[in-house]
Structure 1
């Protein structure tokens, strides 16, 4: 008897993707659980690699911009609000990623959004990566123009093209790049700040007395929240940290202390370093405005911030060289992460919607192209507005997922504690997270543009935080949690977790792509007495492999 046409179509479609699926080592386990066999790095190496990705200089620009706009006092309080919110929301996400070895998209699927519902959050995250790639690329182009006389338009292209070959091999190359460049980057960044504190102690008083460009920087709750809103555009950075943290080794009694320290430091702890950089950026900007003729025009540009201080320490040629080296190293360190994470986000969305896996490199090119267009459009001149608007979307997403994990999973226990991301095991859409995010983002964006009144406008980040925190448990209780799991049994008898609660390392074969994958990535096939991996399920165009909604 010949196979049914639908089954033939399924196998043909799956076979077309076998070539790309077979390159999972190169593709760094795109779209799927990171297996134990691949996670050979120690907690310390993973942490250093993850923190290497926050070497960006955008923090210096952000700190300078909010200080120039709102004065030092309001900026510092805004940075503190930003740090507290980022740490509190990032902790449950980072723990979940490191514990279960999933990226934030896979976590989002089972944390209230559903299989297709999390596509919208992927778009939000991809937007984050190309916005900040463009911002960092613009800073690098400024450095190339200053140091080598390269026109900005050409500098934008160079800062984009240089990243592509570095991102091809994913985590294996990125970990080495971050480890080797971090010491030099730290020295170059800290040197000018330490120099000013030692040789110009009066700059500290000038810093705290600075009232902003318009001289109206008196303490104001509205100004604090406007400053915090710009900083909070970085809230999606936790997703990039998680792209490294998903490669944490299994947590055991022997490595528990090191595991926790690495997870906290490289997860929510990134914001400590981010906040410090924002304060330093503001400090350098105030010094330049007060002491350098025409300094106001360049005070928010990191390359000029460092160049002006380096020139006080060493000959001009050496100062210029070090400033350019710092900018280039910083931009390469962060933009390989932006490009890598953005390619994952776009690929994940495209694969689920079209049921076709084109490979991560296709969308690496897409992400870089969008970033280059933004740079050529001179987005640097509209930084505060772009980041303030984006913050509302990013906050809504991250806070909703954090609320579902911390409250619905661990406190109310209405959401399944263990993650689920596999097609067929979860519903296409879950109103708990998907609905909460749309409401929180929509209302906060209305507030941001003044549609809810000028009095509420500065507090749009608080609107997003409040709604994102409260709505998930409210909707979960109202729906009795019935939209989390489509099935509770994946048809495989092997246990999902080992004796320490880590994802199992047992290996099973996928009968579609003929590759072996670990237990958490596998599901029983509906039409065969065999197993199928999560990626082949995602590319199953007719759904023949997908288990039915009810138990057999």
Structure 2
């Protein structure tokens, strides 16, 4: 049975008294259901009727998205420059910050079934204020798409002699047919390819360590270009590169928003999957970065420092120790291509969501997600052709300041402003009319954090402080976010506290309600969290409200 048939056969409970009458799901035209499935609830709450996967399937799919090879390059670059000791400390510091800041975001996505942009709107930024962070996230996706595409092109050049420019094009075009159909296809792709990817990546390294145990000692003793002494500045410079990956939590959330409701029966599996596939992604990322240092040190004498940061060279060098020569290049190429495809379908998918969110809110037009799949891939291809890979660590160090400012601001709003100060509404709000256009709490904190940390990174406050720009970004966001909430007394979070529908958004177990209501504009039925009352009567879905150019359906501001 298809997802479209699932959507139309579900029987929903009756609407409460006083609410708009409920439209039966089977009344929805098949064509519209198919379109909605293809669009994968781009700007919406992900309804219970679509979330048919178990926590384990969602978690495994999300972890499949971290199969990228950039971690090996990032770790290698840090290790060759600063030495293994400094690199491992840098990786650990960054992983701790990413885990702590990613936890509340992942929890909110899995619990309330909304993506990171929708969470950001109600966590300090406002309806239009989060457009800034959507662009930041979209930038993350095309930067890392370009990185992974470049790695695949390097593999194709190494294995079959394909020119780099043609490899860049091939690595872009192969993603398009895979990313069109959204979560349903991505879940299958990640689940089916995870076992092969794990075997190809892990088994050779285990055999290498068993065969050559001294390789571990050589790795730990490697001093790098700077001599190897432990140095706080070197650790923070390395951590700044690793922290550029903080935006990865947004891609994890694009899977986690499809988690099923948390119940007494699935509670343990739900929490395990949320933690492992949410903030827990960074544990796997940190391991890959450390392995990148190990492989770079192992092959350094044979290939030189320039090639030692390329994953195709790293794995080929490892495979040479373990298997026949005729098998080395094909297996290394399979690993690189498989990893690139697994992550870049996620990069393209998440980037299309971010661009669509921004464009629709600003223009009040909805061109469809596929348009922005092509936009995101076009930008990525330009970056690849411009040889971004050759100065990757510099790009990531600069970008990490913006990513940290955004993620830490939202995480602080959830942990401190929502749960400790209780100045921010605990339940995430994303619907137009319910939020102020701009909330100074998040916007001011984000801008101050990113701009000051970027200034520190470029040495405007002295060369001595430059390595500490990541700590500046984190510190300002942690302090300024609650301070702004206190100064504004939480006034700019909600424009309205009543959405005009009698039934609560959450059911008795605290999960988003599955009751369906009809939209007066598109005449389709949607689950309770996606709708508000329309100023003109009846209920209206979040997408139709977003594209209401005249604003006649938007509820007026609520009187104090």
TM-score bracket relative to the smaller structure: over 0.9
Residue aligned with 1:111, SS = helix
User: What is the CA deviation profile of residues 285-342 of structure 1, one whole-angstrom value per residue up to 9, with x for unaligned ones?
Assistant: 001114x2x3323110001100111122122221100000000100000000000000
Provide the rounded CA distance (Å) in 2 between the counterparts of 1:92 and 1:507.
28
1:221 aligns with 2:252: no
Partner residue of 2:528? Answer: 519
SS at match of 1:523: strand
Give unpaired runs (5+ residues) of structure 1. Answer: 1-18
Distance 1:316 1:434 in 2: 56
Cα distance in 1 for partners of 2:152, 2:81 equals 24
Which of 375, 382, 396 aligns to 1:373? It is 382
SS at match of 2:366: coil
Matched residue, 1:530: 538
Give, in whole Å, the separation in 1 of the partners of 2:208 and 2:544: 57
Please say if 1:449 is aligned against 2:458.
yes
- Is it true that 1:56 corresponds to 2:64 in the alignment? no
Q: Is the 8 A contact 1:75 1:224 kept in 2?
A: yes
Supply the distance in 2 between the matched residues of 1:21 and 1:183 (Cα, whole angstroms).
33
**What is the CA–CA distance in structure 2 between the aligned matches of 1:314 and 1:220, rounded to whole Å?**
39
Match in the other structure for 1:93: 105
Distance apart, 1:147 and its partner CA: 1.1
Q: How far does residue 196 in structure 1 lie from its aligned partner after superposition? A: 2.0
Query: What's the offset of the Cα at 1:442?
Result: 0.4
**2-side partners of 1:432 and 1:326: how far apart?**
45
What is the alpha-carbon root mean square deviation over aligned residues?
A: 1.3
TM-score by length of 2: 0.94
Q: What residue is the counterpart of 2:483 in the other structure?
A: 474
Q: TM-score, normalised by structure 1?
A: 0.95
Aligned match of 1:255: 266
Show the counterpart of 2:17. Answer: none
State the match for 2:150 in structure 1.
Answer: 138
3-state SS, counterpart of residue 49 of structure 2: coil
2:171 maps to 1:162: no
Q: Is 1:230 equivalent to 2:238 in the alignment?
A: no
Q: Provide, for residues 385-419 of structure 1, a one-character-per-residue CA deviation record: whole Å limited to 9, x for no partner.
A: 10000000000000000000000001111100001
Among 171, 178, 194, the alignment partner of 1:182 is 194
User: Which residue is equivalent to 2:555?
Assistant: 547
CA–CA distance in structure 2, aligned partners of residues 73 and 186 of structure 1: 26
* SS in structure 2 at match of 1:526: coil
Q: Provide the aligned length of Structure 1 versus Structure 2.
A: 531
Q: Deviation at 1:230?
A: 0.1
Q: 1:389 aligned to 395, 398, 405, which one?
A: 398
Q: Could you tell me whether the CA contact under 8 Å between 1:60 and 1:278 is conserved in 2?
A: yes
Aligned equivalents of 1:457, 1:551: Cα separation in 2: 48
Whole-angstrom CA distance in 2 between matches of 1:230 and 1:317: 36
1:246 is aligned to 2:257? yes
Contact 1:97-1:246 at 8 Å conserved across structures: yes
Q: Give the conservation status (yes or no) of the 8 Å contact 1:490–1:524.
A: yes
Structure 2: gaps of 5 or more residues: 1-30
- Whether the 8 Å contact between 1:21 and 1:513 is mirrored in structure 2 is no
Structure 2 residue 428 is the aligned partner of structure 1 residue 428: no
CA shift, 1:148, in A, is 1.4
| Native 8 Å contact 1:408 1:415 kept in 2 | yes
**What does residue 291 of structure 2 align with?**
280
* CA distance in structure 2 between the aligned counterparts of 1:300 and 1:20, rounded to whole angstroms: 48
